[in-house]
Structure 1
Amino acid sequence: MSLPQPVPPSWKDLGKSSNDLLGKDYHFHGTALEVKTSTPSKVTFKVAGLRDPKNAAINGDIEAKYADKAHGLTLTQAWTTSNALRTQVELENQIAKGLKLDLGTSLLPDKGTKSALLNVTYKQPGLHSRAALDVFKGPNFTADAVLGRDGFLVGAEASYNVTEGKITRYAAAVGFSAPEYAVTLHGLGNLSTFAASYYHRVSPDVEAGAKAIYDTKATTSGVSLEVGTKAYLDQAAFVKAKINNAGVLALGYTQALRPGVKASFGLALDTQRLNEASPSGPAHKVGAQFIFEA
């Protein structure tokens, strides 16, 4: 008798371990501040801001989230400095077990631009499927599904333009996931771009990963390659490093200063131009992020 199969990751989370290792905690695009607070009435507030080093502009948003776990309801409302109003309503495990409904809307009053995206997610052992309808764009209908068994994963995604009556995008992926490592191969952009990634937890304190991308439509030939690692210094701090085949080295350091207070620092160096500046600005970047949570 075979063991019960776990719910596989969603399509967007295939290769997530490698993507997080190579993409998160490298804060070298300006200075960011994030403050989170919670109330006894199950309302969470988040204020976030980012100072762009190129034009010294500060972009930010304020978000309020209400979660009623007993009834599977989550309501999120956000307002950004670009005067965008975002609303998201989520309802999970109420109509059927494993079924989640999600409606996200966005409105820019100054420009009169609006969007609405209706998502339906259905999860069961060995299956993770999603469907999304972009009401005002197209409208477009997108569906994806991931099947998993004994660590092996197979997924596919397709978008259909209702007005034009044709498939506008499709992709596929295969992978294998184990507690200590994961390997994923994607065929994206109508199978014109191929990406392979791997993640390995070498030990409880060290992680490693890599990602290679080959675009058949790119003007430059060759494969883009990026490798990185993460090492925990102790329970409150870790360092990360990655480098790509263009010679860009990125470093990140994250430290939990005290419960609810975390600081992260990032540095990017163009190792091929250590003593010069690029035409569009400095070849090297530095930044920081501070998170306060209560």
Structure 2
Amino acid sequence: MDSSKLCDAHCHPHDDIKHLDMIPKLKTGHITIMGVRQDDWDRVAQVTTQCAPGRCIPAFGIHPWFLHQLMINDDVDSETHYDQILTAKVMSEKQDMIQALDPPFPRDEWVNNLKQRLIDHPQALVGEVGLDRAARLLPGGAIEWHGVKPTSVQTTIEHQMNVLRIQLEIAREFQRAVSVHCVQASGHLLQLLQEMVPKKKKKEAGPPVRLCVHSFVGSPGSIPQFLKLDKGFTVYVSFSVAICSRLEKKKLFDLINAIPQDRLLIESDLNTSLGQDDAMEEIAKLVAEARQWSIEQTIERTHKNWHEFVGLQ
């Protein structure tokens, strides 16, 4: 297997601070490194500069798990903001959370921060962004998920959609691709994208935004609806062993085969470089088996698709 042509469309190896020096040494030829909060963007940028040009593509965005930290309406105070955009089955947990959380970022601040990152990194994507109806906040607003029982507090889907809309508008403004997280929210994502398809003529509206729904585990029947958005969005779908192998094998293969061959991507979705090469080889083999392609065909096809998705010639 020619690992040098493997393209990881979505990963977080910079989370593993102890092994940052291994990232430039990966056998996988190209990786797309996802930022998820403003406070990890510096590390994403740092790792990118340590790789050969075009090998590590940075992505800057704010993940749905952290959208409560962002204000849309700067005319309210912090407590009002959190009261409006958080919901909970246990109201005492919501009140405790509001008291524990740091003040949110004003809209102009986080929007300008994202735009500046895209200016500073002309190859950068917008990501990881998206919607997640299953996510719940951790006690005290903690961000380390391993071994911590979440609360019943959630960010409303309305706030998530409002923030995602802004991040997609920024991607369109800067003509950058987007990597999207979508958990139990395919209908909401489709609705938002439909609303954002330009009503103007295609030339006046600019090129479609290249958008990848990563580690997709939704219904194969929803794929044609996303593909119909081509006046506003060129939709790709990527698969990982880490997430997608949870599906029953036949369902996963049906899903892989529902994706047009020129919109198919593969990824590791790992938050460490340890095992990243193995994960990429494994998903390449799985896609090859599902599509009845050779490994070489699978790597060549996804290599070409990744370059088109990120905008590399």
> What's the TM-score, normalizing by structure 2?
0.29
Larger Rg: 1
TM-score (norm 1): 0.30
- Larger RCO (CA under 8 A, 6+ residues apart): 2
